[in-house]
Amino acid sequence: MEAIKLSVIIPVLNEEKTIAQTLEHLQKTAVEIIIVDGGSTDNTVEIVQNMGIKTILSPEPGRSNQMNTGAKYAIGKVLLFLHADTKLPHNYLQYIEESLEKPNTIAGAFLLKIESQNPLLRIVEKGVNARSRLLQMPYGDQGIFLKKETFETIGGFPDIPLMEDFQLMLTLKKQGKIRLAKAPVITSARRWEKLGVIKTTLINQKVILGYFLGVSPEKLKQWYQ
Q: Is residue 207 part of a domain?
A: no
pLDDT at res. 34: 96
Q: Is residue 162 part of a domain?
A: yes
| pLDDT exceeds 50 at position 1 | no
Burial (CB < 10 A; 0-12, 13-18, 19+), residue 65, is buried
For 153-201, how does the pLDDT look when each residue is reduced to its tens digit (9 = 90+)?
A: 999 999 999 999 999 999 999 999 999 999 999 999 998 998 899 999 9
What value does the mean pLDDT take over residues 218-225? Answer: 79
| pLDDT exceeds 50 at position 36 | yes
Q: Is residue 154 part of a domain?
A: yes
Per DSSP, what are the bridge partners of residue 114? 187
pLDDT at res. 220: 80
Q: Say if residues 141 and 86 touch (Cβ distance below 8 Å).
A: yes
Q: Is residue 223 part of a domain?
A: no
Residue 198 CB contacts under 8 Å (≥ 6 apart), including other chains: 120
Residue 110 CB contacts under 8 Å (≥ 6 apart), including other chains: 88, 89, 92, 95, 138, 142, 143, 180, 181, 183, 184, 185
Residue 119 CB contacts under 8 Å (≥ 6 apart), including other chains: none
Q: Is residue 55 part of a domain?
A: yes
What value does the mean pLDDT take over residues 197-219? Answer: 88
Domain that holds residue 102: 6-192
pTM value surpassing 0.85: yes
d(CA 187, CA 116): 9
Q: Is residue 172 part of a domain?
A: yes
What value does the mean pLDDT take over residues 43-72? Answer: 93
Q: Is residue 58 part of a domain?
A: yes
| pLDDT exceeds 90 at position 212 | no
Instruction: Place 30 in a pLDDT band, splitting at 50, 70 and 90.
Output: confident
What value does the mean pLDDT take over residues 51-70? Answer: 92
| pLDDT exceeds 80 at position 3 | no
| pLDDT exceeds 80 at position 4 | no
For 134-148, how does the pLDDT look when each residue is reduced to its tens digit (9 = 90+)?
A: 999 999 999 999 999
pLDDT at res. 211: 86
Instruction: Place 28 in a pLDDT band, splitting at 50, 70 and 90.
Output: confident
Mean pLDDT of the chain: 93
Greater confidence, 80 or 224? 80
* Domain count across the chain: 1
Q: Is residue 170 part of a domain?
A: yes
Pick from 115, 120, 107: which is nearest to 85 by CA? Answer: 115
pLDDT at res. 59: 86
Pick from 162, 164, 143: which is nearest to 225 by CA? Answer: 162
CA dihedral 196→169→66→38, nearest 10 degrees, is: -10
| CATH number for the domain harbouring residue 162 | 3.90.550.10
Strand-strand pairing, 177-188 and 105-115: parallel
Pick from 78, 88, 67: which is nearest to 23 by CA? Answer: 88
**Angle at which helices 63-73 and 164-173 pack, to 10 degrees?**
60
Instruction: Place 103 in a pLDDT band, splitting at 50, 70 and 90.
Output: very high
What value does the mean pLDDT take over residues 98-119? Answer: 96
